[in-house]
């Protein structure tokens, strides 16, 4: 029997999302859509706890993964790219920042496939030394609206704008088009592109909406939330399937012969 690839999906701190007062015991949670999206295309999701103060255990978890999915969520703290917070900065999650940046750095070093969604795109960029606009409206006055949040009455699958992608990109290979619509639920965006990353999608106002790496390593970060379309759009499901296929290939290449259990 073949082994299904294991995909690590880091959690987030409940208090960072809901503003639960500090001092109470923390819980780690994550939207189930991310786990369903990878399960639907043949992978085994692994909820990664935010062991930011126990990197030895975090590394042991990492060694058992075949791919890494970094999900959406709260803002990255600007200290991670050497900036002071501006008033428009939203809630942050220091433990999540530390864990996700470390996992992405390990995966980039090892060639493990990485799929970053919304915040995940930003994590990949910061892990490579890039920076972010802490708030698009405050720092990029020429930009269009990108914060179509459900809390403001917008559906999570609302097509907010289009993106344009180059023909060499993973996105073009999957979608078979240079332009297609996406949803948009973010108020931060890439400012300085990280070292070794290629911008592989732009919104009509010029903001970077996706990044990849050259050389065949399956790394893709997108600024939208494709997990909202995985069940209804065959092309989006194929995008997740492409990630899982790359993760399976990585796992087979790094797993000892005959071993079906996690490496």
Q: Give the angle 189-123-64 at the CA atoms, nearest 5°.
A: 155
Q: What is the pLDDT of residue 22?
A: 66
pLDDT at 257: 54
Residues of the chain with pLDDT under 50: 1, 258-263
Q: What is the pLDDT of residue 1?
A: 43
Backbone torsion region of residue 103, taken as left when φ is above 0, otherwise alpha when ψ lies between -120 and 50, otherwise beta: alpha
Compute the distance between CA of residue 188 and CA of residue 239 in angstroms, rounded to an integer. Answer: 24
- Domains observed in the chain: 6-254 (3.40.50.880)
User: What local confidence, expressed as pLDDT, does residue 23 receive?
Assistant: 66
Question: Alpha-carbon distance 126 to 120, whole Å?
Answer: 10
**Residue 254: per-residue pLDDT:** 86
**C-alpha 36: how far from chain center:** 15
Residue 17: the pLDDT is 74
The residues annotated with a catalytic role in the active site are 118, 225, 227
């Amino acid at each position: 029997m073949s082994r299904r690839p294991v995909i690590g999906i880091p959690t987030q701190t409940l208090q960072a999302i809901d503003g639960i007062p500090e001092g109470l015991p923390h819980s780690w949670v994550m939207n189930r859509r991310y786990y369903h999206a990878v399960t639907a295309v043949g992978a085994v999701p692994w909820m990664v706890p935010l062991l930011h103060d126990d990197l030895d255990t975090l590394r042991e978890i990492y060694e058992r993964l075949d791919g890494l999915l970094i999900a959406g969520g709260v803002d990255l703290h600007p200290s991670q790219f050497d900036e002071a917070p501006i008033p428009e900065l939203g809630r942050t999650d220091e433990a999540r920042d530390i864990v996700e940046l470390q996992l992405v750095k390990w995966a980039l070093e090892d060639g493990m496939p990485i799929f970053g969604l919304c915040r995940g795109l930003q994590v990949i960029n910061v892990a490579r030394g890039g920076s972010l606009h802490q708030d698009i409206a405050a720092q990029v006055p020429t930009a269009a609206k990108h914060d179509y949040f459900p809390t403001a009455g917008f559906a999570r699958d609302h097509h907010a704008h289009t993106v344009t992608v180059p023909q060499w990109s993973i996105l073009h290979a999957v979608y078979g088009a240079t332009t297609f619509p996406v949803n948009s639920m973010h108020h931060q965006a890439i400012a300085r592109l990280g070292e070794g990353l290629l911008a592989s999608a732009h919104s009509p106002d010029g903001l970077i909406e996706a990044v990849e790496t050259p050389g065949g390593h399956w790394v893709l970060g997108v600024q939208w939330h494709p997990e909202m379309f995985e069940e209804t759009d065959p092309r989006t499901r194929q995008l997740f399937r492409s990630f899982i296929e790359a993760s399976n290939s990585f796992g087979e290449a790094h797993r000892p012969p005959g071993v079906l259990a996690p490496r």
